């Protein structure tokens, strides 16, 4: 069940995920936590233990593609506009249903489309957008980039997405080659910041990580060939890493939900193998982690919690993985003062669980324990994002 902008809602003796040995009385008013107070120990446990509940902040997915209906863009173009719209609305619904209340779309959806989906289909997902991605076709010099950036600014997007290297479609020997010149890259970041836009950078590694640190981008995405030295400088700069680890393990399985060809599966497997080392370097250096899935098809939307499993497999503690998906993710969005925590005054984006989410064996068990998803924003607020 999804409850949008609750006027008044009271939760008695509910446990906050990650806080042991205590329960809390929580009051929500007008879409925000009005009070969060430790419960009277004499009334801490419900008589029926099966009704014991936990609450966590809503999950924040910092890297998703809500407009994409197919892995191959050519397949999406074969669909009618109406069919695409319905599938996009279904992506919103599936994302909310799995406990994700805020998403940063990493390219493909326009703010106007988000507003339409919220209004027309009643799916109250909070979405920050980057509209279109800047990639190889835009590596045509500063004047061209200035024009392209103006077009993206005009959409109302709050983020600029730079495709700084290749990805699964690039041969292994070329995947770290920069798409832009250093001058072009620096201009994009400088011009975006001058217009009060944040920047996320798709990079598998190499020199474009160095450029990202130097230019002061807000986050780098993927980064599976991050070096130990780069991790140290990334931590010093405060730049976040959104590794999107689970998608590469999914893509590497030829019999999995994506069922990609052997060449792409092999590239994904190599990327997944490198990812664990990159996460290890980043954790050791103290890099800020953000949770992101890079999920982009109906087979993946709604299974976002799988990223928690992979992050923990690669060395993050359970608490670190959850922080990357809640308080840390909110900070990366610039909303750490009002989102990502169960605390008085914060937006009441939250998930109610029927079992302790910190004890779930895996994402499937976690997903099945969701009881209710709260979204604090009303429609007017969502339409202003």
Render 219-266 in DSSP notation, one character per residue. EEEEEEE--HHHHHHHHHHT-EEE---HHHHHHT-TTSSS---HHHHH
Mean pLDDT, rounded, for 360-369? 96
**Residues above pLDDT 90, as percent of the chain:** 86
Cβ 105 vs Cβ 66: under 8 Å? yes
Render 98-132 in DSSP notation, one character per residue. TTEEEEEE-SS--HHHHHHHHHHH----EEE---S
- Under the banding of pLDDT at 50, 70 and 90, the label for residue 1 is confident
For CATH 2.30.40.10, the residue range(s) in the chain are 2-57+342-382
Write out the CATH class of domain 59-333.
alpha beta
- pTM given for the model: 0.95
- Under the banding of pLDDT at 50, 70 and 90, the label for residue 4 is confident
Residue 86 has pLDDT above 80, yes or no: yes
Mean pLDDT, rounded, for 219-242? 98
Cβ 111 vs Cβ 153: under 8 Å? no
Give me the pLDDT at residue 385, please.
66
For CATH 3.20.20.140, the residue range(s) in the chain are 59-333
The CATH T-level fold of domain 2-57+342-382 is: Urease, subunit C; domain 1 (2.30.40)
């Amino acid at each position: 069940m999804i409850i949008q902008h609750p006027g008044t809602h009271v939760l008695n003796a509910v446990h906050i995920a990650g806080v042991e040995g205590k329960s809390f009385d929580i009051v929500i008013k007008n879409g925000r936590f009005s009070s969060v107070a430790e419960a009277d120990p004499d009334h801490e446990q419900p008589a029926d233990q099966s009704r014991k509940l936990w609450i966590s902040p809503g999950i924040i997915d910092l890297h998703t593609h809500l407009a994409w209906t197919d892995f191959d863009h050519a397949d999406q173009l074969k669909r009618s506009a109406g069919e695409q719209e319905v599938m996009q609305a279904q992506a919103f619904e599936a994302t909310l249903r799995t406990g994700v209340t805020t998403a940063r779309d990493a390219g493909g959806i326009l703010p106007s489309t988000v507003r339409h989906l919220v209004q027309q289909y009643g799916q109250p997902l909070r979405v920050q957008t980057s509209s279109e991605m800047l990639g190889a076709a835009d590596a045509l010099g500063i004047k061209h980039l200035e024009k392209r950036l103006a077009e993206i600014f005009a959409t109302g997007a709050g983020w600029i997405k730079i495709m700084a290297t290749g990805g699964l479609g690039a041969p292994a020997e070329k995947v770290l080659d920069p798409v832009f010149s250093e001058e072009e890259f620096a201009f994009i970041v400088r011009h975006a910041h001058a217009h009060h836009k944040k920047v996320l950078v798709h990079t598998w590694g190499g020199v474009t990580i160095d450029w990202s640190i130097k230019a002061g981008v807000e986050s780098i995405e993927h980064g599976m060939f991050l070096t130990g030295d780069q991790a140290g400088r990334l931590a010093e700069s405060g730049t976040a890493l959104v590794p999107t680890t689970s998608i590469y393990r999914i893509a590497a399985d030829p019999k999995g939900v994506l069922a990609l060809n052997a060449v792409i599966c092999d590239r994904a497997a190599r990327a997944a193998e490198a990812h664990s080392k990159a996460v290890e370097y980043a954790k050791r250096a103290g890099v800020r982690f953000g949770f992101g899935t890079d999920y982009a098809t109906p087979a993946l939307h709604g299974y976002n919690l799988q990223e928690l499993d992979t992050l923990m497999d690669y060395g993050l503690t359970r608490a670190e993985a959850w922080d990357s998906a809640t308080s840390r993710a909110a900070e990366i969005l610039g909303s750490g003062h009002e989102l990502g925590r169960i605390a008085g005054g914060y937006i009441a984006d939250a998930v109610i669980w029927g079992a302790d989410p910190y004890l779930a064996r895996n994402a499937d068990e976690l997903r099945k324990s969701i009881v209710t998803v709260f979204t604090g924003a009303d429609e007017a607020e969502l339409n202003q994002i």
